[in-house]
Structure 1
Amino acid sequence: MSSDSELNNDDIISRWIDPVIRKPVFSRFTPDNLEQRTVAAAELFHARYYKTITAASKGFGVPYHRLRSRIQGHSAINSNGGLNTLLDEAQTKAVIIWAHRQILTGFHVRGRRLRQHVNAILRASGNKGTASKRWCNRFMKKHRTIFHLRKALSRDAKRKGVQKRAMLTSWFDCFKGYLQRNCVKKQNVWNFDETGFMIGYLEKGIFVWTFLDINQPVLTDSYDKVTITSIDCISAAGVVIPPFLIAPGVQIPVKWV
């Protein structure tokens, strides 16, 4: 008569292996069922259906190191709390609030700045753990609804200072009123803009941003060595004049253009 362990092993095998075709019960190996396949491969290895981890890994399409870690007793990150082992719930909330406050006051939160702040919290709480660069990347991925990376443009601090919503709204209301009073047509309304491009300095960067409704933040006060000016014109009717570039220099060879 079979023992209880043999009966359990038979149940495990019948659960994950089709008795007719002798193959896994999964019709397809997809990222959505990776965790379930990992559990199945680990159980079949313990049930001695597979003699080696390599065979179980190949049989269910599970990465070898992932399966070996699970067989050794490690649980999934999403089930054991993952990053909560370094920061508790109150500390995590404090980090998120700090990031919002930094951005509201005009300071951009880069990955290094975030790591330094988390390590300061750990030292203050007596925790000997350390937040590494890799840890911060995982932290941001876990809280992807709050943290996301955006490329930034550079802008002078004086120009940024006058860009207040109330001031811009008031100006556009006055402008619309002027157009209506004077019956100005859209094709006669043109926007003329002069933009400088910096050469010889890395003007754009990637940093941590916590406002999902802003797609492209603007950096304040960047430095440049040489500038090239681009003049752009577009009408309210959608007609565009090709941009005109002004490059520094007295003589510009034709082959440069």
Structure 2
Amino acid sequence: MPKDNKTIEIRILEAVNAIDHGIYATIASAARAFDVPYHRLRRRAQGGKSLFERPLTGRRLNEAQGASLKSWTDYRDSIGAPPKRSQVLIAASNINIALNPSAAPLSDKWVRHFLQHNPHYHIHRRKAFEI
């Protein structure tokens, strides 16, 4: 059985297609023929979403909130005052609390992960202005 999810998903799509066209009578026989996990194939054959189609879990900010934070960061970069790590944390926490007042505060670890997942945003020291 392949280890990476993309290969498995391609095989599952082929297996679901074969089941729909009546080539395989049972899900178990299709799972064996295409070398995919039975339970994952069964869920997909019953109309379930794939791993790549499902919404992400464990995210502290939703897509709209993340876009808002990114646009704020872009604005700060455009005026020549890129935000510090602490400012990104405060802005993200305020965005998060605005829609969910009972949300737990974000941590420095969250900012580190945000910067790792968005490599075009990088924190650098501000340069002193020349007089």
Cα deviation for residue 118 of structure 1 reads 0.5
User: Equivalents in 1 of 2:59, 2:128: separation in Å?
Assistant: 42
Alpha-carbon RMSD: 3.5
Measured against aligned partners, the alpha-carbon deviations of 1:12-71 in whole angstroms (never above 9, x if no partner) come to: 01211xxxxxxxxxxxxxxxxxxxxxxx4xx15x59xxxxxxxxxxxxxxxxxxxxxxxx
Equivalent of residue 114 in structure 2, options 139, 159, 167: 139
Q: Is 1:148 equivalent to 2:121 in the alignment? A: yes
From the two aligned structures, give the one with the greater strand fraction.
1
Q: Which runs of 4+ in 1 moved over 4 A?
A: none
Q: Which residue of 1 aligns with 2:130?
A: 158
Q: Which residue of 1 aligns with 2:81?
A: 107
Which letter maps to 1:9? A
Q: Which runs of 5+ in 1 are unaligned?
A: 1-5, 17-39, 48-74, 160-257
User: Equivalents in 2 of 1:140, 1:83: separation in Å?
Assistant: 19
User: Equivalents in 2 of 1:108, 1:12: separation in Å?
Assistant: 52
> Does structure 2 retain, via aligned residues, the 8 Å contact 1:95–1:118?
yes
> Does structure 2 retain, via aligned residues, the 8 Å contact 1:115–1:136?
yes
User: Equivalents in 1 of 2:91, 2:115: separation in Å?
Assistant: 14
Q: Which residue of 2 aligns with 1:15?
A: 34
Q: Which runs of 5+ in 2 are unaligned?
A: 1-24, 41-49
Distance 1:155 1:138, change over 3 A: closer
Q: Count residues in correspondence.
A: 97
> What percentage of aligned pairs have identical amino acids?
13
Cα deviation for residue 104 of structure 1 reads 3.4
Measured against aligned partners, the alpha-carbon deviations of 1:235-256 in whole angstroms (never above 9, x if no partner) come to: xxxxxxxxxxxxxxxxxxxxxx
User: Equivalents in 2 of 1:94, 1:116: separation in Å?
Assistant: 13
User: Equivalents in 1 of 2:111, 2:127: separation in Å?
Assistant: 28
From the two aligned structures, give the one with the greater helix fraction.
2
Which letter maps to 2:122? L
> Does structure 2 retain, via aligned residues, the 8 Å contact 1:86–1:129?
no
SS for the counterpart of 2:122 is strand
> Does structure 2 retain, via aligned residues, the 8 Å contact 1:102–1:108?
yes
Which letter maps to 1:95? L
Measured against aligned partners, the alpha-carbon deviations of 1:81-119 in whole angstroms (never above 9, x if no partner) come to: 337943234322221121122233443323332122111
Q: Which structure 2 residues correspond to residues 1-257 of structure 1 after superposition, within 5 A?
A: 7-16=26-35, 40=36, 43-44=37-38, 46=39, 76=51, 78-82=52-56, 85-127=59-101, 128-144=103-119, 147-149=120-122, 152=125, 155-159=127-131
Which letter maps to 1:116? I
Cα deviation for residue 143 of structure 1 reads 3.8
Measured against aligned partners, the alpha-carbon deviations of 1:128-162 in whole angstroms (never above 9, x if no partner) come to: 14433343344334444xx333655x743225xxx
Flag the structure with larger Rg: 1
Q: Which residue of 2 aligns with 1:232?
A: none
